[in-house]
Structure 1
Amino acid sequence: MRNFLICHRIPERTFKIKGHYFPVCSRCTGIYIGAFAYFVYAYFVYVNYSLSLLLCACLMVLPTFTDGFTQLLGLRESNNTLRFTTGLLGGLGLGILVKALKWMIIMGLHPL
């Protein structure tokens, strides 16, 4: 039984090494790696969460959404390399957004 809360885990959309499939699909692998990489980066380097950075982060998520949504609609078929690449970019963007939200909560700032 697949756990759809984490990932659909369709074998054709999942990386495989020596006959063993990754626990998540290639897009989710990219998202998790991208977000984790940003969290590690932000731990060591101070990041000023400006409006332009938040806008950039939103734009970084857009290719992931576009790739997944156009594939869902059947407009085209994606491949694992594109899924991973857009997932990596989207994961970085999501990491920025999550850390910015945390920063706003800690600092007592309101988004508007």
Structure 2
Amino acid sequence: MAITKYICHRKPERSFHIHGHQFPVCARCTGFYTGLLVYLIYTLIYKHGYDLNMLIISIILMIPVAIDGFTQYFGLRESTNNLRFITGFIGGIGLIIFLKIIIRWILYVL
């Protein structure tokens, strides 16, 4: 999994382990990718529009992961892997909604 070193820091203390084997990405990235996948599956079953309200919701969903990441980065507190996963999951949903809106708006304008 050499490509994972380019998309995640993969620090062992910030990664999940199963039976002594480290996940290929950290807890936060695991949450992001899980959130992305869950939302994409959700949209296959339930359709909804992508308007300004959804853009605002997507930004709100990305706030917890930003707060968790920045407060940890600046040494204000130490996050846990479970919190990293949860905020990553929520942020992943927000990110995919945001990307879908931007892509649709770009395609609509072009």
Deviation of 1:105 (Å): 2.6
Aligned residues: 108
Deviation of 1:102 (Å): 2.1
Deviation of 1:83 (Å): 0.3
With normalisation by structure 1, the TM-score equals 0.88
- Alignment partners' CA distance in 2, 1:86 and 1:109: 33
Once the two structures are superposed, the pairs formed by residues 55-70 of structure 1 within 5 Å of their partners are 55-70=56-71
- Structure 1 unaligned spans of 5+: none
- Alignment partners' CA distance in 2, 1:57 and 1:71: 22
Once the two structures are superposed, the pairs formed by residues 1-112 of structure 1 within 5 Å of their partners are 3=5, 5-106=6-107, 108-109=108-109
- Alignment partners' CA distance in 2, 1:48 and 1:109: 17
- Structure 2 unaligned spans of 5+: none
Off by >4 Å, runs of 4+ in structure 1: none
With normalisation by structure 2, the TM-score equals 0.90
1:42-67 CA-to-partner distances (Å, cap 9, x unmatched) read: 23322201211110110100110110
Deviation of 1:41 (Å): 1.7
- Alignment partners' CA distance in 1, 2:109 and 2:57: 20
Deviates more, 1:33-42 or 1:53-62: 33-42
- Alignment partners' CA distance in 2, 1:78 and 1:53: 28
Confirm or deny: 8 A CA contact 1:36 1:95 kept in the other structure: no
The structure in which a higher percent of residues are helix is 2
Q: Secondary structure at the match of 1:41?
A: helix
